[in-house]
Amino acid sequence: MGEKRSRSFYVLAAFFIAYVLFLYGPMFAIYILSFQGPDGGLTFPMNGVSLTWFGKVFSGSGIVDIGAAFKRSLKLGLLVMVLTVVLSVAAGMAFRRSFSGATVLFYTAIASLIMPSIITSLGIALEFRLLDDFMIKHGGAWAEGWTTAMGLFTSGLGAHLTWTLPFGLLIMFAIFNRFDGRLEEAARDLGATPWQTFRHVVLPIILPSVVGIGLFGFTLSWDELARSSQAIGSVNTLPLELQGLTTTVTKPDIYALGTLTSGVSFLVIFSALIVILVLQARQRRHGSDAGKGMV
């Protein structure tokens, strides 16, 4: 290694650059177009530069109540993030020992990950529909005035978790495949309780990856569409509103909304990446001095 770059390197590098342009180019096109002037349309050229369309989004004129959808998605995303982190770390720890049901849980998670979203969504919708029917018919006085149990934080939350939890679990698997179990043994030998071992030995080591799980949890929920589509009840999340707008809106306000939504995504992504970098740097500083000789 270290010899001169071959010709295939340059060909492949050009291919890679083309791929990155393909990935980002269209996105940047709409970020630019969202600053379209008041008389501008959905395509280039830019007809002046203005914040008109952002103003339209914030004032809510023209399109449905985006502010409310924005807040709903944010709340749901944060809840999904917290649950994904807690449930994945807990389950990941369980997989370090063998327990009956481990194989079932693993394959269930994989199945949930690759199940066509429309089927999961339909199933959850059906489940809640049957529950509602049952409550209305047989609930008696207790269920008086029952309309539906479907909603953002019931069926919607469940639908999102079927998508985020498998990612969380897979990340935990990846972490523990590279984890040195002797560290835990050492902690135990020194008399640490299981909780102390987790809190002071395991957690600090896996923390950067746990932040990564949180990143997946929030962003996947924030942008989730297919699984929520049938299972969200009467109020929509932001991506669902956006999808609805694609067929009706003919003005750049949809781009402005897209830019804002992506803004949140990028804010979360970069904050998470910075936190991960800081944590890793800290780990290196406070890490082992093994092999560095006597000081």
Whole-number Å distance between alpha carbons of 230 and 246: 18
107 and 188 Cβ atoms separated by less than 8 Å = no
| Cβ 140 to other proteins shortest distance, Å | 20
Position 64 contacts other proteins (CB under 8 A): no
How many CA within 13 A on the CB side of residue 243?
11
Residues between 239 and 258 with contacts to other proteins, criterion CB under 8 A: 239, 242-243, 246-247, 254-255, 258
Residues between 33 and 52 with contacts to other proteins, criterion CB under 8 A: 33, 41-44
| Cβ 24 to other proteins shortest distance, Å | 7
| Cβ 199 to other proteins shortest distance, Å | 15
Burial, 158: exposed, middle or buried (Cβ in 10 Å; 0-12, 13-18, 19+)? middle
Only one residue has tokens 């984890």, namely: 179
Q: Which residues are CB-neighbours of 95 under 8 A, at least 6 positions away? A: 102, 106, 172, 173, 176
Residues between 176 and 215 with contacts to other proteins, criterion CB under 8 A: 177, 194, 215
Position 151 contacts other proteins (CB under 8 A): no
**Nearer residue to other proteins within complex by CB, 132 or 293:** 132
Residues between 128 and 147 with contacts to other proteins, criterion CB under 8 A: 129-130
| Cβ 64 to other proteins shortest distance, Å | 15
Identified binder of other proteins from the candidate list 78, 173, 235, 251, rule CB under 8 A: 173
79 and 157 Cβ atoms separated by less than 8 Å = yes
| Cβ 214 to other proteins shortest distance, Å | 12
Identified binder of other proteins from the candidate list 56, 77, 80, 162, rule CB under 8 A: 162
**Nearer residue to other proteins within complex by CB, 32 or 293:** 32
Q: Which residues are CB-neighbours of 269 under 8 A, at least 6 positions away? A: 215, 219
Position 261 contacts other proteins (CB under 8 A): yes
Which residues of 118-260 form beta strands (DSSP E)? none
Q: What are phi and psi of 49, to 5 degrees?
A: -125, 130
**Nearer residue to other proteins within complex by CB, 32 or 183:** 32
Nearest-CA neighbor of 200 among 218, 212, 188, 215? 188
Position 223 contacts other proteins (CB under 8 A): yes
Position 281 contacts other proteins (CB under 8 A): no
